[in-house]
A and B are shown apart, each in its own frame.
Chain A
Amino acid sequence: MAVIQARGLGKVYAGKPAVDDLSFDVQPGSVTGFLGPNGAGKSTTMRLMLGLDRGAGSTTFDGVPFTSLHRPMNRVGTLLEANPFHPTRTARNHLLMLALANGVPASRVDEVLEQLGLATVARKKPRTFSMGMGQRLGLAAALLGDPDTLILDEPANGLDPQGVHWIRDLLKGFAATGRSVFVSSHLLSEMALMADELVVIGRGRLIASGPVGDFVKTSTRNAVVVRSPQADELADLLRREGATVERIEPGALSVVGMEPSRVGDLAFEASIRVHELAHRAATLEEAFLEATQDAEEYHAEVSRAVEDTS
C-alpha cells in the first residue's frame, strides 16, 4: 500500500530551474526524509507531487496521481509550509469543512483535536494561535482522514521539544504499521533519529536516495582514529597501502578508506605499537554537508555575483 513514485519532476521559475528532472520512490513501512539546503526546491517538489504547482513530470500514489484521488484526505495527509487556514474560522470548523468534503465523520474531528492537544481551543480562531498551535492544526488536518501516506513539509517547525519528540514517535509509529511517510526537515539531528530512507536534493537535482546508513557511509568523514608513538611511520605505511591519512594531533592519525581491522593488522605486521584504534562514524550532518557542498558553493557564488552587480 501507498508506494509513491515521483518521475521527472521539474519546475522553472523565471527562467531558472527550481526542480530539475527529479525522480525518486517512497516505500511503505518507512519514514523517508527529504533533505536539501535552503532553496534546493523541497517545498516546490512537494507542491508538484500534489499537483498544486504546475510543472513537468508526474507523481503517483499506488499508481494514481493525487489530482485523480477521490476524497484524497483518506489516502494522503499533507502539511505544507505556512499554515493555510482562515484566521477567523474556528479550528473545529476548519477541520469540519475538510472532513465533510472527504466523507470523514464529524466525530473524527474531535478525535484529532484531542490527539493534537487542541481540544481546549477547538472553538477559538486560529488568528490567536501561536506558531506551534497553528502547526498542530495543520497536522490535525493531515491526520484527519486516517491516511496511508503522509507528506509533511517541516512538520517540527515551531513545535516545542515535547512536540518534536511527539511527532517523531508519531511518524515512526505510522511507518511501523506499513504506511508511508515523506517528510522534509532542516533539522538533521532530528532526521537522523527519525528517517529510515533519504532523498537528498541540491539545486533542484537529486544528489542521493536510499537508506540513511548507506548515505552516511559515503561520507569521507567515516574514519579510523589511531594513536601510536610511531605515528609518522604508521602514516607512511598506511598511505602506501592506499589509505588517506591525516595527522589530527601529535601521535594521532585519522585514516579514511581502510577498515580498523586492516589498520591493526598492518601495524602488527610492521611491528608498530598501537595505543588506540577506534572507528569514528560520520554523522548524517557531515554526510549531508559534504554531499550538498557543490550546491552550497553554487549559492555562495551566486550571492557574490549578485553583490558584485549591485
Chain B
Amino acid sequence: MTEALTYEWLRLRTLRSTWWLTGLAVLLGIGIALLISLAARSEISGNGGASADDVRFLPVAVVSQGSAIFVPYLLAYVVAMIGVFAWGHEYRHGMVRTTLTAVPQRTSVWVAKFTVVGLWVLAVSALTGLVSLLLGALVLSGTGLPMLTGEAWQMLGRCAVYALALTWLVTAFTAVVRHQVVALVLMFLWPFLIENVISGVVSAVPTLDRLFGDVVRYLPFDAGNAIIREVDIGLGAPLGAWAGFAVFAGTAVVLMVLSLVLFRGRDA
C-alpha cells in the first residue's frame, strides 16, 4: 500500500495540470470571496450598519465563496478535474500498463488514487475557505460584523465534504467510462443542464409533476447542493443538508464500488 501511495503522490505532483487547476481553483475561490466581502462592506457602510441577514449569511457566503447563497461551489468543479485526470490519463496515454507493472496490486492502486486525490482536494478546499474567511474578516473588520462564527467554521467543513464527494463521484465515473473527455463534458452538462431540464420539464407538466415531483428532489447534484446551500432557490421542496449529502455521497459510493469491480476485472 505504501508503494501505491508513493506512486500516486508522485504521479499527482509531477503533472502540470495538477498545479494549474489547483492554482485556478484557489484564485477563483479567493477572488469571489474578496468580491463578496468588498461589496458587503460598501453596502453595510451605505446602510449605516449590518442587517440581520448580513449577520446570518455573510460569514457563510464568504467562507463558501458564494456557494452558500447563490453560485455553485466553483472551486470544487475545478479541483474535481484533477480526479478526472487521475484515471483519464491512465487510459488516454496507456499509462495504466506502466502503473500496473510498477504496482501490480490493483486494489491498492485504486485505493491510493482515491486517497491521494481526495486528500489533495480536501486540503485545497479547506485552505481556500480559511484564507477566504480570514480575508473577509479583514475587509469587514471595520463594520463590527462577526465573521469567525461557528456557522462559518461549519460551512468550511461542509464545503470540503462537498468537494470531496464531487471529486470522488467524477473520479469514479471516469474510471468506469475510461474516457476523460466524456467525463469532463458530463461533469458540467449533468449538473448545470441535464438535471435542470429534467426538473424544469417535470414541474412544467402537471401530470409529470404529480407523478415525479417528489422524485426529482433526489437528482444527485440537486440533492448535493443542499450540503452547502443556505438559501432555498430550487424548484419545489429541496432535501435537507443531511438527506442531500446521503443522496450525493451515495451516488459517489455506488460509482466507486462499480469502478473498483470493473478495474479489478478488466484488461489493463
Contacts and interface: CB of A to CB of B under 8 A. Distances in A.
Interface stretch (A94-102, A173-181, A265-273, A302-310): A94-102
Interface residues of A, number: 35
A72 B104 contact: yes
B94 to A, nearest CB: 4
Contacts of B94: 82, 84
A80 interface: yes
Contacts of A96: 10, 14
Nearest to A125: B16
A66 B104 contact: yes
B3 A101 contact: yes
Residue of A70, A73, A78, A86 ringed by the most chain B CB atoms within 10 A: A86
B97 A84 contact: yes
Interface string B1-25: 0011011001100111000000000
B51 interface: no
A52 B46 CA distance: 67
A69 to B, nearest CB: 7
B266 interface: yes
B210 interface: no
B88 to A, nearest CB: 11
Given A47-B267, A89-B14, A101-B3, A141 B98 contact: yes
A86 B93 contact: yes
B102 A98 contact: yes
A87 B3 contact: no
B102 A73 contact: yes
Contact of A67 (B4, B6, B104): B104
Interface of B: 3-4, 6-7, 10-11, 14-16, 89, 93-98, 100-106, 265-268
Given A47-B267, A73-B101, 8 more contacts: A47-B268, A52-B97, A53-B267, A68-B104, A85-B98, A87-B93, A94-B14, A100-B6
